[in-house]
Amino acid sequence: MKYRNSWFAAVAVMAFAATGCSMDTAPDIPAASDVRPYYVKLATPNIQYRFTEVATAEYHPQSGELVMNMQGLSSRVYDNKPVYTCMWSYPGFADATPWYYTLDEHQAVDLGVDFNGYTDSWVDLQAPLQQDATWTFVSMGETITAKITKFGATAKVRGVTYTDVLMVQYTGNNGTNVTEWFAKDKGLIYSNYSRPNIGSVVNELESIEQK
């Protein structure tokens, strides 16, 4: 999850003990050629993800929830790829706002809030998914290098254990430092962002429900 324009924020790197998260060493497993099983269920309308949120960034609650309601495939395309819509809201803090993504077997790309006049993107995942795989992209004028530092691991978030988890570390040449955990058949379960002069946001998965 990325925060763009006035909504952009990222989270400060915290010790896992401070967030109640942990991850075990990944086994040696074959590469995955399709990123979609590891991403949020964008194609399924009315799937709802709930995350706890702790933030220092503007436009975010210092302590609260992020709720993501999937809207499914939109009528739009971006770079010849299908565009999916998700409604983001912060209950008791901010109303729902549409968020846009492209997703195919090769890439999961976060387009952000303002699709019309949109000028930025963030590549969450890129195939093949395997231990030590890397990719690069540019976000807000900063070159970001992503690396899968664990693949096929077991992770615990808020007391729930997830298997077949991959960890991606994103490092920017201007100081951005981001960590995301993706569980197969679940999607994003943990995110921890830090970007200079912007602020911080930490999200941990609470639940996934079909509404």
- pLDDT of amino acid 25: 65
148 phi, psi to nearest 5 deg: -80, 110
Q: pTM for the full model?
A: 0.88
- pLDDT of amino acid 189: 98
Q: CA 107 to CA 84: how far, in whole Å?
A: 13
* C-alpha torsion sign, points 168, 41, 36, 141: negative
Place of tokens 């999937």: 70
Evaluate the omega torsion of the peptide bond into residue 27 and state whether it is cis, within 30 degrees of 0.
Answer: no
- pLDDT of amino acid 9: 31
pLDDT in tens, the chain (211 residues): 454 333 333 232 333 433 567 777 666 788 999 999 999 999 999 999 999 999 998 888 889 999 999 999 999 888 899 999 999 999 998 889 999 999 999 999 999 887 555 668 999 999 999 999 999 999 989 999 999 999 999 999 999 999 999 999 999 999 999 999 999 999 999 999 988 888 899 999 999 999 8
DSSP string, the chain: ----GGG--------HHHHTEEEPPPP----BS-SGGGS--TTSTTEEEEEEEEE-STTS-SEEEEEEEEEEEEEEEETTEEEEEEEEEETTTEEEEEEEEEE-SSEEEEEES--TT----EEEEESSB-TT-EEEEEETTEEEEEEEEEEEEEEEETTEEEEEEEEEEEEETTS-EEEEEEETTTEEEEEEEEETTTEEEEEEEEEEEE-
Q: CA 140 to CA 96: how far, in whole Å?
A: 24
The candidate with the shortest Cα–Cα distance to 154, out of 140, 166, 170, is: 166
Q: 5-210 has which CATH code?
A: 2.40.360
- Domain spans of the chain, in order of start: 5-210
Q: CA 182 to CA 66: how far, in whole Å?
A: 17
- pLDDT of amino acid 110: 94
